[in-house]
Amino acid sequence: MSEISQALAAVRDRVAAAARVVGRDPREVRLLLAVKAQPAHLVRQAIGAGAELLGHNRAQELVETAPELADLPHEMHFIGRLQSNKATKVVPLVTCVQSVDGPAIAQRLDRLAGRAERVLDVLVQVNTSGEPTKAGVAPEEAAGLAAAVGALPHLRLRGLMTIGANSTDVDVVRASYERLALLREEILAGGAAGTGEARELSMGMSGDLEVAVAAGATMVRVGTAVFGARPA
């Protein structure tokens, strides 16, 4: 068994254990591998070890590696901040953009998906920690943005995404995740058109996935725990 296979199995065990601690079915939580700048041969190893869901947070890295993975079955998401001028290259290569943080990028994605005669899955990114270095719409604006996204004909709102608080205080991190879960319930209860499928909670990474799972994560984004640190 390769190192990547072993690491992937260990992360899956962590997710399953975290789910069972709070009485959840581990199958409710999907593992997304954040492949970052990893070379294609390592990503191929991960897919061979059973990784089905991958994520890129830089458009150029996605464009460069996509052809080398095209022969292998996988689902690709875009999980980083997306500049409008890069969206043209990103949309054909992904099934979901998790980082919609304003109406302008949502409208841009809708136009591109419409030209391609497809429906693109998206998540609204929310800055639940309030940290100025993090992207995402403010929590008090999340429901309004979700409704605006839900009204666009070529986007399908699947849920919300956040990056947890950058803190060594577990309670602070937990609060940032629990806030996203509450926002999802608010959006679903609001009943705005196009928001009825917004059930995904993409939150939690290598260092805090247990906290995220306990708070209700349906998807955790893990890179370092499988691949190690981003290559220089």
Count how many domains the chain has: 1
Q: Is the pLDDT of residue 230 over 80?
A: no
Q: Is the pLDDT of residue 15 over 70?
A: yes
- The proportion of the chain whose per-residue pLDDT surpasses 90, expressed as a percent, equals 95
Predicted pLDDT of residue 212? 98
Through-space distance between the first and last CA atoms of the chain, rounded to whole angstroms = 26
The answer to whether position 231 is within a domain reads: no
In 3D space, the residue among 119, 116, 196, 131 whose CA is nearest the CA of residue 162 turns out to be: 131
Supply 183's token pair: 């926002």
Predicted pLDDT of residue 2? 87
Predicted pLDDT of residue 54? 98
- Structural domain containing residue 59: 3-224
**Segment 93-147, tens digit of pLDDT:** 999 999 999 999 999 999 999 999 999 999 999 999 999 999 999 999 999 999 9
The answer to whether position 229 is within a domain reads: no
Entry pTM: 0.95
Q: Is the pLDDT of residue 187 over 90?
A: yes
Residue 221 amino acid letter: R
Predicted pLDDT of residue 95? 98
Predicted pLDDT of residue 218? 98
Predicted pLDDT of residue 136? 97
The chain-wide mean pLDDT, for the chain, equals 96
The string of DSSP codes covering the chain is: --HHHHHHHHHHHHHHHHHHHTT--GGG-EEEEE-TT--HHHHHHHHHTT--EEEES-HHHHHHHHHHHTTS--EEEE-S---GGGHHHHGGG-SEEEEE-SHHHHHHHHHHHHHTT--EEEEEEB-TT--TTS-SB-HHHHHHHHHHHHT-TTEEEEEEE------S-HHHHHHHHHHHHHHHHHHHHHT-TT-TT--EEE---TTTHHHHHHHT-SEEEESHHHH-SPP-
**Segment 157-179, tens digit of pLDDT:** 999 999 999 999 999 999 999 99
The answer to whether position 232 is within a domain reads: no
Q: Is the pLDDT of residue 232 over 80?
A: no
Predicted pLDDT of residue 104? 97
The answer to whether position 97 is within a domain reads: yes
The answer to whether position 211 is within a domain reads: yes
Supply 28's token pair: 């409710």
Q: Is the pLDDT of residue 229 over 80?
A: no
The answer to whether position 48 is within a domain reads: yes
CATH number at residue 207: 3.20.20.10
